[in-house]
Amino acid sequence: MTTTDEFYGRRELLTDLDRVACKANWLAARRRYVESHFGDAGVRDVASRLETEATRRAFLEPPLPMSWSDVATVVAIDRAIFEGPMNLSYARMREFGGEIATYDVNGVYRAFFRLATPRFVFSKIGMVWSQYFRRGSLVCETRERDADVHLHEVVMPRYLCQHGIPGWFDTMLGLVGARAPSVRHPSCIHAGADHCVWNARWTS
């Protein structure tokens, strides 16, 4: 039976996220975001919503950035952030995805990004994925003014597909100075497609 949920999507596709490893800095971005937008009260609110001690610890004291966590832990924390301080706002979820892009691109990278083009960034997106996740691949077809990005061999929950990942792409495009960036998610595995595809466009 298919059960589709607005937040998770098709739950039966997400049964092994505890075995999908992700870099701990992606996990650590949760507390950083909550603290900067909602302060200590927000951090306490999220912690109180987490059901297991291990998840609460992962949120409050994330492991070192270069170590590995798992996607299921991050998703449990995101659900608590969404139901708590985000007040069920998907717009906030998209903004959070964008903010993670700014955490990724700081210092030296920021200067480098100012010189990069949208085409260049999208041509490297598969490499970025494999730095964050130990499963799946992001394959990009890049053209002059747009790119199609395909995700294979792993399924992310729907809130990331629809909001978090587009927010990340939006902000990446902004960081390289793309004009009028727009990101859509025309094919989604949670809506019956065989894999997820995003399309990003820019005018120059």
Nearer to Zn ion, 62 or 157 (CB): 157
Choose which of 25, 188, 198, 200 interacts with Zn ion (CB under 5 A). Answer: 188
By CB under 5 A, residue 196 contacts Zn ion: yes
Q: How far is the CB of 30 from Zn ion (least distance, A)?
A: 21
By CB under 5 A, residue 14 contacts Zn ion: no
**What's the maximum distance between 2 C-alpha atoms anywhere in the chain?**
50
> Using CB under 5 A, which of the segments 46-54, 97-105, 131-139, 188-196 binds Zn ion?
188-196
Nearer to Zn ion, 79 or 163 (CB): 163
Choose which of 43, 71, 161, 173 interacts with Zn ion (CB under 5 A). Answer: 161
Under a CB-based contact definition with an 8 Å cutoff, are residues 89 and 38 in contact? no
Q: Where are the alpha helices (DSSP H) in the chain?
A: 24-49, 53-60, 71-83, 90-104, 108-115, 118-123, 125-132, 158-159, 165-175
Under a CB-based contact definition with an 8 Å cutoff, are residues 157 and 9 in contact? yes
Cα 38 → chain centroid: 19
Cβ within 8 Å of residue 35, ≥6 positions away: 42, 43
Q: How far is the CB of 1 from Zn ion (least distance, A)?
A: 20
> Using CB under 5 A, which of the segments 60-68, 93-101, 125-133, 192-200 binds Zn ion?
192-200
Residues that bind Zn ion (CB under 5 A): 161, 188, 196
